[in-house]
Amino acid sequence: MKTSAIRLPQTIGLWTRPDSPQIVTSTNIFDYMDGAGELYIGYRFDHLEVYEYTSGSQDDILVELYFMDTSDDAFGLLSLDWGGEPVALSSSPENSSTGSNARFNRALYGEGLLRIWSDELYARIMAYRETPAAKEAVLAIGRAITANQKNLPGPEIMEILSPVIDSEWRLRKDRLSFFRSYLVLNSIYYLSPQNILNLDLLVDAVTAPYEKTNESEDRKRIQFLLVKYIDPESARQALSHFHEAFLPEYKKGFRVDSATQDTLVYEVEGGWLGYRLHGSHVAIVFDCPDQESARKIIRQNISNLKEKEENQ
């Protein structure tokens, strides 16, 4: 278990915490929370430290510190919900990445709840009853948590996604999520009760909608998904599994190697689906209004991937 370097103040305003936290690991997380534990262990979760700040005259403030194996995993937890108002807690400089999706909010506050991505830590600080004093205490605890923490860049895979494609499709950055587990994917965009993409803690995956840039048109959204597997063979096997499970009516004549040459597109209920295999990556689009949109979005993002690989 990771050693905590976070030093929370003993007293904040009217509130005081106990000397020691409650420790939660993957073995007892379901005792601590009912149902939501799958979302946390769907990332590289190390352990959780829980503090309860109490006051004789005010409702309690709950502090949850989720220690993750990597900064990407902590970002992933925050990326599941971009709701709330951005707040600045740390004076540490932002990362220097210049990609279109490099900068994301690191702390979001709303209705008494503050959520933070800070280095390898994801934190939730919640006032059971929001008051001006409680809000200030929550933010002060947030500042203590982020003190001396690094502002590491977000997952590299996000840099591949084009913010705009042919001035026609715009990426919904506020709906972009990083994940590793099929259970987490289903909480974002339901795909299947089974793990038909062979997702696990070794993959990096990102999903986000693209929508029409012309506001006068219908708000048609396309869901884009990009997965990086540990090696090309794992990617091939995952795409083959996906095709057989999700597109059984197109099983005849299917060859996964065909997807390395160009985007393969299929008509399904509700629109068009397309996918492409490139090395260790699988790109898929769902809910496309036509074949060309599917090909266009995958083509541009695969082109971005190739350019990134060439520059490494």
Burial of 260 from C-beta contacts in 10 A (0-12 / 13-18 / 19+): middle
Span 174-198, pLDDT tens digits = 999 999 999 999 999 999 999 999 9
pLDDT for 294 equals 96
In whole angstroms, give the CA distance from residue 40 to residue 34: 12
Asked if pLDDT for residue 16 goes beyond 70, the answer is yes
DSSP 117-178: EETTEEEEEEESS--HHHHHHHHHHHHHHHTT-------GGGGGS-SEETTTEEE-GGG-EE
Q: How far is CA 139 from CA 110, 131, 196, 232, in A?
A: 11, 12, 41, 45
In whole angstroms, give the CA distance from residue 157 to residue 205: 7
Span 136-168, pLDDT tens digits = 999 999 999 999 888 889 999 999 999 999 989
The more confident residue out of 152 and 202 is 202
- Tokens (6 digits) for 230: 């540990």
DSSP 190-220: ---SS-TT---TT-EEEEEEEEES-TTS---
Span 206-238, pLDDT tens digits = 999 999 987 655 567 899 999 999 999 999 999
pTM of the model: 0.93
Beta bridge partners, 23, equal 49
pLDDT for 104 equals 81
Instruction: Give 250's DSSP letter.
Output: G
Identify the CATH number of the domain defined by range 156-311.
3.40.1000
Span 33-43, pLDDT tens digits = 987 899 999 99
131 pLDDT band, cuts 50/70/90, is very high
96 pLDDT band, cuts 50/70/90, is very low
- Tokens (6 digits) for 251: 């099983």
Backbone angles phi and psi of 144, in degrees to 5: -65, -40
The ranges assigned to domains in the chain are: 11-146, 156-311
Asked if pLDDT for residue 78 goes beyond 60, the answer is yes
- Where are the alpha helices (H) located in 200-285, listed in sequence order? 232-246
Cα 195 to its chain centre, rounded Å, is 18
Overall average pLDDT of the 105-115 stretch: 96
Beta bridge partners, 125, equal 63, 114
pLDDT for 193 equals 96
State what percent of residues in the chain have pLDDT above 90. Answer: 81
